[in-house]
Amino acid sequence: MKTASINHLMVNADLSQRCVLDSNTLAWQPSPSPLVHRRVLERHGAEVARATSIVRYDAGAKFHAHEHPLGEEILVLEGTLSDEFGDYGPGTYLKNPSGSSHAPFSEGGCTLFVKLRHLAPDDNERVVVDTRQSPWFQGMVDGLKVLPLSEFGTSHTAMVRWAPETYFNPHRHYGGEEIYVVEGVFSDEHGRYGQGSWIRSPHLSQHKPFSVEGCVILVKTGHLLD
């Protein structure tokens, strides 16, 4: 298990290392907006950085319009995030592509899972998916439901719902795997991961996942090659 570095410019930045964090135990850190705070899971750079964070908007929080080099992915965990293009309630996934810009705000407050600067420069598709209303598809084993969200090159992002007592086969991840546990408890031979857990496994890592209690996870694979 790798823990956060004391150097805020390099937090869990070595993508060759497995990393497991319980985001609920991390301290909230300030952002450029006084009403927005972050729990940093990984970071490689200063304020403009490749980063993964839990972000909390207090009621009335807003940012001025800004651009996202190498894009942005968001999953709304609680509350409603808004920008000039619409309102995004709990369970909404957004992918804002490289070079896109917006002015986000939240009238009532919200909590988000956010990934910055992880997208390919030529991935220009904007995606908005309400995961609570969209149809989910049968997975590779009984008890598994999958909602694909985005894919480009080797990178795939999806929501996966595990019914209680669901077990998957051992498998290896080309390009690595990243998981955020949205609900319930996810497990593998290395441990148990409750709501708010973040697990990053490097290129060609292997595990045998399962869920005894049932869970919902956000999964991103194939993006940890460099």
Name the region of 8 (left: φ>0; alpha: ψ -120 to 50; beta: rest).
alpha
Closest-CA residue to 79 (of 103, 56, 53, 52): 56
Q: How far apart are alpha carbons 115 and 108 in whole angstroms?
A: 22
Question: CA-CA distances (angstroms) from residue 50 to 25, 39, 120, 208, 220?
Answer: 22, 14, 12, 29, 15
What pLDDT is stored for residue 64 in this prediction? 87
Segments of the chain assigned to CATH 2.60.120.10? 23-130, 137-221
Q: Which pLDDT band holds residue 9 (cuts at 50, 70, 90)? A: confident
pLDDT one-digit tens code per residue, 88-97: 999 999 999 9
Q: What is the mean pLDDT of residues 189-210?
A: 97
Q: Rounded to whole angstroms, how far apart are CA atoms 198 and 201?
A: 10
Is 137-221 a domain of CATH 3.40.50.300? no
Q: State yes or no: pLDDT of 125 exceeds 50.
A: yes
CATH of domain 23-130: 2.60.120.10
Compute the CA torsion angle 151, 192, 18, 68 (nearest 10 deg): 40
Report the pLDDT value the prediction gives residue 5, as an integer from 0 to 100: 38
| pLDDT band for position 66 (cuts 50, 70, 90) | confident
Other CB atoms within 10 Å distance of the CB of residue 136: 15
* Residue partners of 71: CB distance under 8 A and separation at least 6: 95, 96, 97, 98, 100, 116, 117, 118, 119, 123
Give the pLDDT score at 68: 82
CB 82 within 8 A of CB 107: yes
At 140-187, the pLDDT tens digits run 999 999 999 999 999 999 999 999 999 999 999 999 999 999 999 999
Q: Please check whether residue 56 is in contact with residue 108, taking contact to mean a CB–CB distance below 8 angstroms.
A: no
What would the mean pLDDT of 217-223 be, rounded to a whole number?
96
The pTM for the full model equals: 0.93
Q: What's the CA gap between 175 and 203, in Å, rounded? A: 4
User: What is the number of residues in the chain?
Assistant: 226
Nearest to 148 by CA among 206, 220, 52, 89: 220
Residue at token pair 């807003």: 62
What mean pLDDT do residues 203-221 have?
A: 97
pLDDT of 1 higher than 70: no
